[in-house]
Each structure stands twice: as structure tokens, then as C-alpha cells.
Amino acid sequence: MLIRKASCVTALAAAILASPPARAEATLRIAMTASDIPTATGLPNNGFEGMRFLGYPIFEGLVLWDLTRTDKLAGLRPGLAEKWEQDPADNKTWIFHLRRGVKFHDGTDFNADAVIWNLDRYFNNNSPQFEPPSSAMSRARVPIMGSYNKIDDETVAITTTKPASYFPYMAVYLLFTSPTSFEKAGRDWTKVATLPAAGTGPFRITKVVPRQEADLARWEGYWDSGKMAKVDNVVLMPIPEANSRLAALRSGQVDWIEVPPPDGLASLKSAGFTITTGSYPHVWPWFYNIGATNSPFKDVKVRQALNYCIDREGLVALLNGTAEPSVGWLKSADPDFGSPVNRYKYDPTKGKTLLAEAGYTAAKPLSFKAMISNSGSGQMLPLPMNEFLQQNLKEACGVNVEFNVIEWQVLLTAARATPDSPNLQGAMVLNISSPSSDAGVMARYFSSANFSPNGFNFEQWKDDDFDEALKTISEATDPKAISAAYRKAHERLVDNPPWLFIVHDLNPRAMSPKIKGFVSPQSWFVDLTLVSLQ
């Protein structure tokens, strides 16, 4: 009996030694620039950084971005809709054919009823699930939403208020949450994130601790077997201060940081960390508050003057080459940049001449308040950058700028205020980094139909030639006519500027050498499913 027991023990030990060791779970830890965890109900706040990390990885749209390439602007790919087309009988109506067999993370079905339920959440004030914060963002991003209806369980129709060839580029921002999440939370959106909320994406939320971390886990039931995540878990941490993010990376607290401080890049490289940069559709401007009652920016000469007064090359040097000068909404090398009359460069003499023609001189200097953030999505390093511009404008053109520094999400909310709103506290400028990816975004920001608070035209800028060009872009079917109109529209943005064009970000990130497979697409977003840890 003793011999038999010993032999069993020996056999068990041999089996344990022969079996491969259990694989350790791979956890990717990311330091965001946000000061808090973006909202986790399915349409996150905190701008596009919120969409990058608490949006697309968990909650998806009918249309998704293709984030697998670096050689061209990110395009669109089928998402929760397998395909879509304009109704041949009505060019304002789009038909979306839904993907079958998709489940939310809670096991419930994604179908046409879930689509309509979520659209009511955003666009129907009288629906039980109406969510004001998500509605405000969605209406600003899709200002031409008209009606929508279920055709059958796998088909929905969405009708816009006017023809829009670029509507799929707007639909990509409408994300879908399981209706069951709302019911389980007692129909209270403030409690939905604590469930946590269920989406359909390659990751699911497992935990959210405000201002500390959000934990994601790979979703084993993801509908796209070809895009299963390679890491088991993702931990997202809000670290708004750049040097604190740098310290977290060096100490091993995180594996990846957004926007490393420029003066730390060389030492990070020498220590073996990976630095990634890449062109993407980004512009870092000042928005002029043209609509305010006593705004100095009603005069186009003042708006042009500041574009000649700033030293963009000097600012790029401050950023250690992680940005490039911006002289328009698009990059100057873009084929759709056009041939505007104004070719902005550092020319204080011309800037001061234009200011004098507008009535601003050394005896009566231009003075205004700018509202800026201390961090945030796409904001790069807003405090030192704005301090550089403040000193630059004073020394070059005698312009006095006062700053009101607020939190990023508060600044985003301010961008939807009316020009004389008390929320702006007298600000005549907002510093908000912005996308420049497609005609849909151009329409959102600059169409005179999208004045705040109903759209993203905070400036309340109106240019008849621009609006006419945008109408052609929306309605034309000839690619040559659309491209010509796009160039014309951009020329108006340069010559009649609603913004002070400052720099284009080059999207710097710093990562542990353990990270493999990362792609830096020409987009504000990233595909976390491609990333692995070794």
C-alpha cells in the first residue's frame, strides 16, 4: 500500500513537471493626459482621448475607423453595420444593414431595436433613456441628424436634414450601449458605469475608480475573430501632468504614456524606451469668439494679424520637433489646401500693420482673455505652449493676452456656449485642439448652420463662399467637383480665418520596449487589439 501511494505521488510530480507553466496574464498600463477617467456609459467625455480609450475599445458604432495603416489618413470600415448605402429614391436617407449574431458584453443581442434605443438616447428628449451629456456631444458631432426608423431586425434607416455625402464620417461617432445596462442601473445613467456598462467591442470594462483607473479585459465573445485583442487586460490611468507621466513610465508604473515632455525624449530614447510620432489630422488653434458683443475679432484684419504675429517655428523648437507649423486647417502640403491669398508666416510688421488698420496701436493695444486647459486630449502641453504665445504676441505685436486656466472637460463644455454666455467669463479665445480629418468635421466646425450651442461653430463664423462650397461637397457626386469645392472651402478658412492656426501635433507617445505591434495611424484613435506585450 505504501509503495502504491509513493508511485502515485511520483507520477503526479512528473505530470506537473511535464506540463507547461500557466501563462501569466498580459496587462497593458497606459497613462492618459486626462485628469479623470472619461465617463463610462458608452459615449465618453474628455474629447477624443476619451473616445480613444473608453470609447471604441468597448463601445462601437455602425461604422468604424480603419486604424491599421500609417501611410494615409484613416478611412472607414464596416462595424456593427456590414454595409450601408444612400437610398436611391432619397439622397438624404441612408440604409444600414446590421451585422448578425453580435452580442453585447452582457449577452444580450445587438439588433435594430438596440440601434433605435440608442439613437433615442441621443436625439429624443422625451425618451426614458435620454442622456443630456451624451446628447450634447452627439448633436454637436452629428448636427444634421433628422429622423430614423427600424425597417426590420437587421436594417435601419437614418435620414439627415440635408444631403450629406460625408454622413458615414459622422455616424462613426455614435456608439452603442446595451439597453439592459440602463435597466439594470435602475434607469439611472449615473449608475450605469458602476455595473459596468456593456458594449460590443473587443474589450469590456471590469472596474472604474474615478480619478484613479479604469480596467478593461479582453472580450472573449467578440464578433470579429480576426481582431481579438492580444493582451488580456488594459489599465487606464489619468495622469495630467507631463513630468508625472514621464516618472510613471521610468519607474515601471505604466508601459505607455501619451504626450511625453519634449525635454525628456532624448533621455527616454537612450534608456531604451520607444518614441513614436506620426502625422495625423490634428490642428492646435485658438478659436476666435467672433460672435461676442464687443469682440475685437469681428474684424477679419485682427484675425489675420494674429496669424502673422506668431512665431510657429519657435514654438516647434520648444516642443523638440514633435509638432509642425500650421497655416491653415489642413496641412500646407495637403493637395486640398488650395491657393489662399494669405500665406501666413512670422511677419510682425505685417501683423502690426493690420492691427493698426483695425484701430489697435501701441497707444491702444489689442487686449483679450483666452480660456485654456491645463491638460487634455490632443492639447499637447497647453501651459508652456500658451505662455510662449503670450510672450510672443506681446513682444512681436504689442498684444496683451490674459489666461483663464480650467479643466479640459470644462473647456470642451465652454465651446458649446453662446458667445456672450457667463460661462465664458469674458473669454474671446478658446484653445481647443481639433480634428481635420474629413469634410464631415469641416461641416461640423464651420458651417453657418452649426452655430453654438447647437453645433461646433463656437466662433459663429459665417462665410457665404464657404457655405456654397460646402453645399457642393454635400450634394455633388463627381469626385473632381467635390475636390475643387473642398479646396475652395479651405481657401476661405485661411483668408477669412475663424481660428488662429498655430501648430499640427505629431502625436508623440513613449512606450516600454516590451510593447510590440503598435501602429500609429493617421488618426486621433488607435487600435488596441494590435498591441502585445513581450
Q: Which helix (H) or strand (E) holds 419?
A: none
Q: Which helix (H) or strand (E) holds 264?
A: none
Tell me what pLDDT residue 271 has: 96
CB atoms within 10 A of CB 272: 8
Strands 400-406 and 429-430: unpaired
Helices and strands, counts by H and E, the chain: 17, 22
Tell me what pLDDT residue 193 has: 86
Give the integer Cα–Cα distance in Å for 457 and 415: 8
Give the integer Cα–Cα distance in Å for 277 and 267: 16
What structural domains and CATH numbers belong to the chain?
24-58+201-278+509-534 (3.40.190.10), 60-179 (3.90.76.10), 282-505 (3.10.105.10)
Number of Cα atoms under 13 Å in the Cβ half of residue 2: 0
Tell me what pLDDT residue 16 has: 42
Give the integer Cα–Cα distance in Å for 285 and 380: 12
pTM of the predicted model over 0.85:
yes
* Burial class of 445 by CB neighbour count within 10 A (0 to 12, 13 to 18, 19+): buried
CB atoms within 10 A of CB 20: 5
* 28 neighbors 255 (Cβ within 8 angstroms): yes
State CA 40 to chain mean position distance: 16
Instruction: Please report how the helices 348-357 and 300-309 are oriented relative to each other, as an axis angle in degrees rounded to 10.
Output: 160
Q: Which stretches of the chain drop beneath a pLDDT of 50? A: 1-18
CB atoms within 10 A of CB 122: 22
Tell me what pLDDT residue 194 has: 87
Local structure of 218: helix, strand or coil: strand
Tell me what pLDDT residue 21 has: 55
Tell me what pLDDT residue 455 has: 87
* 180 neighbors 166 (Cβ within 8 angstroms): no
Give the C-alpha distances (Å, rounded to integers) separating 269 from 266, 272, 276, 320: 5, 5, 11, 14
**DSSP characters over 427-488:** -SEE---EE--SHHHHHHHH-GGGBTTTSSBTT----HHHHHHHHHHHH---HHHHHHHHHH
Nearest alpha-carbon partner for 27 in 203, 211, 270: 203
Give the integer Cα–Cα distance in Å for 181 and 160: 28
Give the C-alpha distances (Å, rounded to integers) separating 123 from 60, 69, 358: 18, 33, 43
